Chains A and B, each alone.
Chain A
Amino acid sequence: MSIVRRKSGSRRRTARVLILLGALPALAAIWLASPGPGSAAARSAGGLGQGSTGSALARAARPALDAFYRSPVLVRAGEAVRIPVEIGCVTPQGSTCPASAALEIRGDAGWARVGAAAVAGLEFDVSAPATRAAGSALEYRIRAIGPSGASLALPARGAPLRLHVAREMDTVAMPTVPFGVIQEGDVVLDLPWGTGPRRAGLVPGEESATTGPPAFAVDGLGRIHVIDAMQGRLAVFLDGHLVRETALPLTPRSDIALGPDGVAHVVTGSTAGQPSLVATRIDEDGRAVGRAVRLGPGILSEVRDTGPGAAAHVLPLDAWVPLRTSAARGSAALSVGRPLDGGRSLLKAIVGDSVRLGIARGGHVADAVEIRSPERLGELALAERLGRGYLAVVRVWRDDPSPAAQFQVLRIAADRRIATFAVADRSYAEAMPLSRFRLGDDGHLYQLTTSPEGMRIVRFRIGG
């Protein structure tokens, strides 16, 4: 469009401008009606899940299966034992497909298999084989079978899953702490939200989760190792001062365990950008040790030290996978209990409104105890062997008469006496559910709390 300036012929010029102005709406209408990029005509509407994707995708031709189950972990000899199994089957078009589930049990005569249609509410009753396995462990595998040859196994390879059958299990009543009667600890680290070395990274949630540091650990010197995922660093603090920081490609689903050699084991994953879990080791100087190791797809639950190394608790396996670095090869041996030193493992589970704890060595269970709560129990946020007893932190909650929740700390002595107190559930920003508490190498209990102002690590003395 141009306006031609002439000293003469002004009427002709005015007419041209007016014609142009009159044409503008028509030009605009033509412009708006023309298809923009991507506004393709509607695909043919299919039924439920049958519509075209309209994009070149790499989805496999076979259906996709997934399998979840609840591991019994530790049961009493003679009690009813059930394993709920939930199988999902999705076609490449996004529809459901029929599938079946099978439970394989190892008995004296070898492996036996029982199958059933994978329907909602499916539970395998293994009471009979569990009774026969009293005093040892019952080994089993779970399989999902779908159409077109699709199949899936838990575990995919290696050692089978186990549930431990204790001949003896002490039962103790959990002392109650009234809701709201909480103990305040000592703040040992206080980081306001923000960006910078003495800040903690935060992503406020708006139709999403508010996300802060997912996990932390405390070493024997009282240094606090914070997974500051939103700032992409592992930051180490002592007495509130930053000692060092290591840049790491972290996700908000990351966890950390400290080995006795001062090495930090960091596992990241479980996001759209990184569905495979990745394990990294960081030495005492903040340098990566060896190469990061991909553990495969899974949902990270928690990472803990095992004495000589570390292990990750992974779903849907609901079992512990030892962490291996690129320097150490060999198949990972699954463990339903958290591996400890000396070939032992810590068994821990929530069963209804009870906490069950025990120590397994091979198939034998020792020191099994069930702590029965009069209140509803939520997650078992922490379980540790403490001397010849245990330390556990479990959430208690209620809906009536008014919603309330708090964490109850249980120190279970070898003679089964329980010392207890409650701490508040202060979680403005989300962390890993099972990584909000830590038993420090210094013997104190630590809690990661968050508020609109920032994050704090709070220490509770739990006695000698």
Chain B
Amino acid sequence: MRKLLGIAVVAASALVLPVPAEASWVSEHCFDDHNVVKSWKRADAKAYATVAAWEGYEYAGGCWNDNDRDDTPNAPDSFGEGPDCSGLVFKAWMLRLPKGQTGGMWWNRMENVHGSYSSTMFATAEAGWPFFVLPEKDRMTTAYMDAMARKGHIGLLYVNGGTSSGTDVIVHAKGDAYGTVISEEAYRFDTDYVAVRRRGWTADCEPQCSRPLPATPLLVRVP
């Protein structure tokens, strides 16, 4: 009887008193900090993604600093530093929780939030979601900070123009072996990829745009 009672108490203690988890990079560094925004510009998204470049990669992750290195190398799936590919897009695009929510939210890069969307969800955007699949993915249609997405991966067009080789420059959380990088890619021409656009971009020139909006390209003639 006493033995049984002792075992029961120990078992109950184990249930009620959780063993504290080991500290992770996320638990030791990240914190909540976000606020609603009413507008979002491609230039701001690019600046946000630029800071993320050369940081780490973490599956389902969403927290990174700005020291241009992977702070948790060779430690996958351990709540380490960095976003995954869809997490980077969620934060750079200033999307909101929960899934399907419109509007914008600025997220501190140090807040560990991945967002509600996987790369597959971005690539198969449902009606009414805050992003949509573009009908074409040629350079006349896309703009910087649009995404190239497929089942399993997504990256953001870093610049409008391509390279002399016809490739694109993409910023993406590419994987554990890479980290979050800016790299040359040919995703645009891969049949598995579609172009995806965030809804409701505010023009980069606002609130000081001339009217009508400046034509693009903006040509500067060299005599």
Establish whether residues B55 and A53, one from each chain, have CB atoms under 8 Å apart when the complex forms: no
Q: Which residues of A contact B177 (CB under 8 A)?
A: 203, 211, 229-230, 251-252, 271
Establish whether residues A88 and B46, one from each chain, have CB atoms under 8 Å apart when the complex forms: yes
Q: Which residues of B contact A51 (CB under 8 A)?
A: 33, 106, 108, 110
CA distance A283 to B2 in the complex (A): 76
CB distance from A68 to the nearest CB of B (A): 5
Establish whether residues A114 and B136, one from each chain, have CB atoms under 8 Å apart when the complex forms: no
Question: Which residues in window 417-448 of A have CB below 8 A to B?
Answer: 425, 427, 433-434
Establish whether residues B17 and A27, one from each chain, have CB atoms under 8 Å apart when the complex forms: yes
Establish whether residues B179 and A273, one from each chain, have CB atoms under 8 Å apart when the complex forms: yes
A103 CB–B CB distance under 8 Å: yes
CA distance A433 to B184 in the complex (A): 7
Establish whether residues B175 and A28, one from each chain, have CB atoms under 8 Å apart when the complex forms: no
Q: Which residues of B contact A252 (CB under 8 A)?
A: 175, 177-178
CB distance from B193 to the nearest CB of A (A): 9
Q: Give the residue among A48, A59, A89 with the most B Cβ atoms within 10 A.
A: A48
Q: Give the residue among B47, B164, B178 with the most A Cβ atoms within 10 A.
A: B164
Q: Give the residue among B31, B70, B109, B179 with the most A Cβ atoms within 10 A.
A: B31
CA distance A338 to B168 in the complex (A): 20
Known: A51-B108, A207-B86, A272-B180. A120 touches B144 (CB 8 A): yes
Q: Which residues of B contact A397 (CB under 8 A)?
A: 189, 191
Known: A45-B33, A207-B85. A119 touches B169 (CB 8 A): no
Question: Which residues in window 76-92 of A have CB below 8 A to B?
Answer: 82, 84, 86, 88-91
Q: Which residues of B contact A425 (CB under 8 A)?
A: 190-191
Please give the number of chain B residues whose Cβ is less than 8 angstroms from any Cβ of chain A in the complex: 104
Extra contacts besides A42-B33, A51-B108, A349-B165 (15): CB < 8 Å: A28-B17, A32-B18, A51-B33, A57-B65, A70-B161, A71-B163, A86-B159, A95-B44, A96-B43, A125-B220, A205-B175, A350-B165, A404-B191, A405-B190, A433-B185
Q: Which residues of B contact A11 (CB under 8 A)?
A: none
CB distance from B54 to the nearest CB of A (A): 5
Establish whether residues A301 and B184, one from each chain, have CB atoms under 8 Å apart when the complex forms: yes
A148 CB–B CB distance under 8 Å: no
Q: Which residues of A contact B86 (CB under 8 A)?
A: 207
Q: Which residues of A contact B6 (CB under 8 A)?
A: 3
CB distance from B142 to the nearest CB of A (A): 12
Establish whether residues A86 and B17, one from each chain, have CB atoms under 8 Å apart when the complex forms: no
A1-42 contact mask (Cβ, 8 Å, vs B): 1 or 0: 101010000000000010011001101100110001111111
Establish whether residues B50 and A64, one from each chain, have CB atoms under 8 Å apart when the complex forms: yes
Which single residue of chain A is at the shortest CB-CB distance from B163? Answer: A318
Question: Which residues in window 118-158 of A have CB below 8 A to B?
Answer: 119-129
At the interface with chain B, which of A181-189, A325-333, A376-384? Answer: A376-384
CA distance A36 to B205 in the complex (A): 44
A239 CB–B CB distance under 8 Å: no
9 tightest A-B CB contacts, nearest first: A272-B179, A378-B189, A121-B216, A350-B166, A208-B175, A38-B28, A403-B191, A207-B84, A28-B16
Question: Which residues in window 1-37 of B have CB below 8 A to A?
Answer: 2, 5-6, 9, 12-13, 16-18, 20-21, 23, 26-35, 37
Establish whether residues A120 and B43, one from each chain, have CB atoms under 8 Å apart when the complex forms: yes
Establish whether residues A25 and B16, one from each chain, have CB atoms under 8 Å apart when the complex forms: yes
Q: Which residues of A contact B137 (CB under 8 A)?
A: 399
Q: Which residues of B contact A211 (CB under 8 A)?
A: 175, 177-178
Please give the number of chain A residues whose Cβ is less than 8 angstroms from any Cβ of chain B in the complex: 111
CB distance from B194 to the nearest CB of A (A): 9
Q: Which residues of A contact B65 (CB under 8 A)?
A: 53, 55, 57
In the complex, which of the residues B17, B23, B205 contacts A37, with contact meaning CB atoms closer than 8 Å?
A: B23
In the complex, which of the residues A91, A127, A253, A301 contacts B163, with contact meaning CB atoms closer than 8 Å?
A: A301
In the complex, which of the residues B30, B47, B174, B188 contacts A88, with contact meaning CB atoms closer than 8 Å?
A: B47
CA distance A403 to B150 in the complex (A): 13
Establish whether residues A120 and B160, one from each chain, have CB atoms under 8 Å apart when the complex forms: yes
Which single residue of chain A is at the shortest CB-CB distance from B173? Answer: A208
Establish whether residues B217 and A38, one from each chain, have CB atoms under 8 Å apart when the complex forms: no
CB distance from A161 to the nearest CB of B (A): 11
CB distance from B16 to the nearest CB of A (A): 4
CA distance A313 to B167 in the complex (A): 13
Q: Which residues of B contact A350 (CB under 8 A)?
A: 162, 164-166
CA distance A325 to B174 in the complex (A): 30
Q: Which residues of A contact B18 (CB under 8 A)?
A: 28, 31-32
A247 CB–B CB distance under 8 Å: no
In the complex, which of the residues A17, A73, A94 contacts B51, with contact meaning CB atoms closer than 8 Å?
A: A94
B29-66 contact mask (Cβ, 8 Å, vs A): 1 or 0: 11111110100011110111011001111011000011
CA distance A114 to B18 in the complex (A): 66
Which single residue of chain B is at the shortest CB-CB distance from A39? Answer: B27
Known: A209-B178, A210-B152. A123 touches B67 (CB 8 A): no
CA distance A32 to B186 in the complex (A): 49
Establish whether residues B181 and A270, one from each chain, have CB atoms under 8 Å apart when the complex forms: yes
B197 CB–A CB distance under 8 Å: no
Known: A209-B174, A270-B183. A54 touches B31 (CB 8 A): yes
CA distance A416 to B221 in the complex (A): 35
CA distance A275 to B163 in the complex (A): 20
Known: A3-B9, A299-B184. A58 touches B67 (CB 8 A): yes
Q: Which residues of B contact A275 (CB under 8 A)?
A: 54, 68
Question: Which residues in window 126-169 of B have CB below 8 A to A?
Answer: 136-138, 143-144, 152-153, 158-167, 169
Q: Which residues of B contact A70 (CB under 8 A)?
A: 161-164
CA distance A123 to B18 in the complex (A): 61
A105 CB–B CB distance under 8 Å: yes
CB distance from A5 to the nearest CB of B (A): 7
Establish whether residues B185 and A121, one from each chain, have CB atoms under 8 Å apart when the complex forms: no
Q: Which residues of A contact B136 (CB under 8 A)?
A: 399
